[in-house]
Amino acid sequence: MPDSATLLIHCPDRKGIVATISSFLYSLGANILHADQHQDRDMRLFFTRIEWDLADFALDDTGFRTAFDPLAAEFGMRWELAYSTVRPAVAIFVSRYQHCLLDLLYRHQIGELRCRIPLIVSNHGDARDLAAFYGIPFHQVSMNSGNKAEAEQAQLALLDEHGVSLVVLARYMQVLSPEFAGHYPQRIINVHHSFLPAFSGARPYHAAYQRGVKVIGATSHYVTAELDEGPIIEQDVLRVSHRDQVDDLVEKGRDLERVVLSRAVRWHLDHRILHYSGKTVIFD
């Protein structure tokens, strides 16, 4: 794939946005590889994602930002610019269940996730051998009700030391404090083993079994200060029946959890997500 740049924009909807952006990029020698857009008619908002080949592009990062700022101001744009050559640092948090961690590490190894993984953080030691197998430093930060604040400060220090820009909770069974979440707004992705907003909390499979559901699900979402209330990125479901016991739901749900989390992480790394008003736009 050619080296590329990706521009994510959302702004008040009005005529001429697409034409103006396209003309601007064309004038600088951009060869557009992908372009997608969406309008929220109720809120009168416009969203777009544009990716272009950098081979003949006239400006570097600083030059682009300087040239694009007046156009962005004219249309009231909020925008982000990213480059395919930059591999962001991702930290994976895990507790005892390792299926989501294993899936992410394998996908990263085969090049599906365009990032670096400089560390794995856990409140238990169960995943140490798996981290060693993939050659990734493992940090155990034990946590209990009496040391939560100190433990989170130690975790934040590790993230800062490694320049982490995205935190992935791969079945990390601790509730992050609002203070921790505030350090990484829209940059912490969690997988919840339920089709939110149904069955939030710690034991959703047990709650689903008691309710006699006919489908189970999993949800990936950004973490906010409110438990399991962050903007939803991806969801999937699987049919079950009265014959399935709690253990069956847990076993079947693991496949959903892996897929839903990996999709969310990949879309974030590919700069396909725009979030607004508590929800997300996911570009193709």
Q: Please give the positions annotated as active site.
A: 228
SS3 179: helix
In order of 30, 49, 98, 101, 131, the CA distances from 169 in angstroms are 37, 26, 11, 9, 15
In order of 67, 101, 187, 193, 207, the CA distances from 198 in angstroms are 46, 24, 24, 10, 9
9 CA to centre of own chain: 18
Look up residue 99 and give its amino acid: H
Q: Between helices 246-269 and 99-109, what is the axis angle to 10°?
A: 30
Main-chain phi, psi angles of 144, to 5 degrees = -145, 180
Residue 222: both structure tokens together: 């950004």
In order of 91, 130, 156, the CA distances from 160 in angstroms are 11, 24, 6
Contact call for residues 208 and 216 (beta carbons, < 8 A): yes
